[in-house]
Amino acid sequence: MFSTVLRRSERIRNRNNPMLRQTKKEGGRVTVSVQRKSKKNIKRHKQDASVFSKLPDVMVVDILSRLPLKSFFRCKCVSKSWISLSSDAVRLNKHLEPTMRGFFYNHAYGAGFVNFSSGINKVEHVEVDGTMSALSCHDQYLEILDCCNGLLLVKASNKKSRSAHDIHVYNPVTRTLFTLWSYKQLDDKLLYDVFSLAFDPQVFHQFHVIRFTGKKNPKFNFIDIFSFERGECKHHKKLTSHVRINYQSKGTFIDGRVHRLTTQDEILSVDPNNCSYQVIRPPNVENRVMVEIGQSEGVLHCLCVCSNKICFIWVLNSYTTQEWTLKRQLNFNTEYQFLSSGFNHFTAFIRLHFLFHPEKNVLFLPVGEKMFVSVDLSQREISSVGSLGHNGELYCWIYTPCYLV
């Protein structure tokens, strides 16, 4: 009787021990020799881990910075300390430089991606999940709300009922998904409901989502600031604003602030860390028909198009004095005559198409409904970029990957 109980308890213990589980291929219990080898491997692994734990941070950063992309993804998750050091490794690793990889855009059937990084080494190349496979579903309609430093703010709606939708933050390179909240139905009292994403790669463990809302009856507009940090989404503060957001414009994140155009073509600058906002006056340009903002080389840019087909590009010198400096003037009547024929078309969608290269002194312009050209503002050179897969008449964002989140 005692031996039977002992054998039964031994079977239960062996069943719970992953090192002693029976395998279907062999059909029997793991042998003693295999157990000893497994114990030696575990002991060796612990010794190796202890050796790596004694390495100085500078050496760990140097090791991580020399790894290929896929190896870097695996090694940065070894420990919390390595995750924190991976941000420094990214700055040293040439394979991890946030170079432009293509365009994300919305169209009538959902969201799409066009890859313009064909010259990247295939060994070190990590594919951008342009289809957003973690969110794609046959009964869902995906709409990109914003794009900031490698992260996408995505709205996933039910095709049968667009009022029911979820808000996600997705990294199309690392396939990391954060679900923020869900809406069961739309609020009929809202005039607009616009979202912006604020993400600083140097503080990669957190990001902010700013919600701009305006109601039909009240004169005031509201700014809700949410923070997502270490798996938790918290509502920071609700601000009241007298300006109304132009919900047909896109957001620009720079200097830790989110910038949006207002209905008066002013610039609303929101600081999510300090929970404050500021209204910035754009450059004074006569006969302007369109205003667009963007960031390039770490500076806020403002693009003004006049009725005489002349485009002015300004840069902001100071948030305090709100002084602007004229950077470039483009004349579509003389310098870029082949763009002049399509001027009437892309001025109607100028907020949706004019894009600033985040790292270079380059401006992307549309030609027709799908084609893009790049204009080097320094060399005055024009080159064809490519075309969108669908009519990109809704919104378009330049995408630069982030390998930390």
The pLDDT, as a whole number, for residue 343 is 52
Strand partners, 294: 301
Please answer whether residues 154 and 147 qualify as being in contact, where contact means their C-beta atoms are separated by less than 8 angstroms: no
Same domain, 307 and 279: yes
Considering 54, 72, 88, which residue would you say is the last residue of a domain? 54
Cα separation of 128 and 125, whole Å?
9
Residue 405: inside a domain: no
Higher pLDDT, 235 or 199: 199
Q: Of all helices (H) and strands (E), which one includes residue 34?
A: helix 32-53
- Residue 49 per-residue DSSP state: H
- Per-residue DSSP letter, 39: H
Nearest of 312, 395, 328, 325 to residue 361 by alpha carbon? 328
For residues 79 and 185, membership in a common domain is answered with no
Do 21 and 32 reside in the same domain of the chain? Answer: yes
Mean pLDDT on 382-395: 66
Structure tokens at 283: 């450059």
HSE of 102 in the Cβ direction (CA atoms, 13 Å)?
21
Contact indicator for 342, 282 with CB cutoff of 8 Å: no
Q: Mean per-residue pLDDT for 12-36?
A: 48
CA contacts within 13 A on the Cβ side of 335: 15
Report how far residue 146's alpha carbon sits from residue 143's, in angstroms, rounded to the nearest whole number. Answer: 9
CA distance linking residue 193 with residue 204, whole number of Å: 26
Nearest Cα residue to 347 out of 325, 365, 373: 365
CB atoms within 10 A of CB 239: 16
pLDDT of residue 51: 57
Q: Distance of CA 261 to CAs 69, 212, 254, 347, 360, Å? A: 37, 12, 14, 16, 23
Position 271 in a domain: yes
Domain containing 243: what range? 98-399
Tell me the backbone φ, ψ of residue 312, rounded to 5 degrees.
-115, 135
Q: Does residue 324 form part of some domain?
A: yes
pLDDT confidence band for 212 (50 / 70 / 90)? very high
- The reply to whether 86 and 146 lie within a common domain is no
* Spatial distance between the Cα atoms of 194 and 248, rounded to a whole number of angstroms: 9
Mean pLDDT in residue range 231-256: 88
**Domain end among 65, 97, 129:** 97
Which CATH number do you get for residue 285?
2.120.10
Domain total in the chain: 3
Kindly state whether residue 209 falls inside one of the protein's structural domains. Answer: yes
Other beta carbons less than 10 A from residue 77's beta carbon: 11
Q: Do the domain assignments include residue 381?
A: yes
Convert the pLDDT of each residue in 172-188 to its tens digit: 988 889 988 888 777 77
Task: Please state the φ and ψ torsions of residue 352, each to the nearest 5 degrees.
Answer: -95, -15
229 inside domain: yes
Query: Starting at the edge strand that comes first in sequence, how are the strands of the sheet with 110-115 ordered?
Result: 110-115, 102-107, 395-399
Do 50 and 121 lie in one domain? The reply is no
**pTM (predicted TM-score):** 0.77
Question: CA nearest 93: which of 61, 70, 120?
Answer: 61
Residue 34 has pLDDT above 60, yes or no: no
27: phi then psi, degrees, rounded to nearest 5: 75, 10
pLDDT above 70: percentage of residues in the chain: 70
Q: For position 62, what pLDDT does the model report?
A: 78
The answer to whether residue 339 scores a pLDDT higher than 70 is: no
Instruction: Decide if 25 is inside a domain.
Output: yes
Q: Is residue 26 pLDDT above 70, yes or no? A: no
Together in a domain, 84 and 137? no
Residues 327 and 244 both lie in one domain: yes
Domain co-membership, 78 together with 50:
no
Whether residue 238 is found in the same domain as residue 178: yes
- State which of 97, 122, 156 marks the end of a domain: 97
Tell me, yes or no, whether 89 and 76 share the same domain.
Answer: yes
Judge whether residue 117 has pLDDT over 80. Answer: no
Structure tokens at 387: 């075309």
Question: Do 271 and 355 sit in the same domain of this protein?
Answer: yes
Secondary structure string (H, E, C) spanning 228-271? EECCEEEEEEEEEECCCECCCCCCEEECCEEEEEECCCCEEEEE
Average pLDDT over residues 34-58: 59
Angle between helices 57-65 and 80-92 (to 10 degrees): 60
Task: Assess whether 374 and 285 both reside in one domain.
Answer: yes
Under 8 Å between Cβ of 293 and 303:
yes
Report if residue 404 sits inside a domain.
Answer: no
Q: What integer pLDDT is reported at residue 192 of this predicted model?
A: 87
